[in-house]
Amino acid sequence: MCKVTYFVQPCPTCGRKLQVKVEYLGLEVSCQHCGAGFISHDPDMIGTPLANPVDDALHKADAFLGRGLTSTHFPATFGPN
């Protein structure tokens, strides 16, 4: 039997506490009570939810590898930045 892990996040529109699956972190979800859409995030996180979690992960990886890139750099095969 597989257990599903949830976190509790208040809806930014109506304030109701929602149980959101951890696998939906950073994705757009809808409140079951008022229907408002919002990006799910762990309310225990410091700061605001990430606007683009992929770019954030790339920047963290670059910083970890010592590259210190200030913007996302993709090979030319992926198109311009």
Residues 43 and 54 both lie in one domain: no
Residues 37 and 58 both lie in one domain: no
Residues 26 and 1 both lie in one domain: yes
Residues 32 and 63 both lie in one domain: no
Residues 80 and 65 both lie in one domain: yes
Residues 14 and 41 both lie in one domain: yes
Q: Encoding tokens for residue 34?
A: 């008022």
Give the C-alpha separation, 69 to 34, whole Å.
41
Instruction: Give the structural domain span for 73.
Output: 50-81
- pLDDT of res. 18: 92
Residue 79 or residue 45, greater confidence:
45
Residues 5 and 41 both lie in one domain: yes
- pLDDT of res. 75: 54
Residues 57 and 43 both lie in one domain: no
- Mapping DSSP onto H, E and C, the string for the chain reads CCCCCEEEEECCCCCCEEEEEHHHCCCEEECCCCCCEEECCCCCCCCCCCCCHHHHHHHHHHHHCCCCCCCCCCCHHHCCC
pLDDT tens figures, 5-51: 888 989 889 999 999 988 888 899 999 989 999 988 876 665 555 56
CA dist 68 → 39, 76, 80 (Å): 28, 20, 20
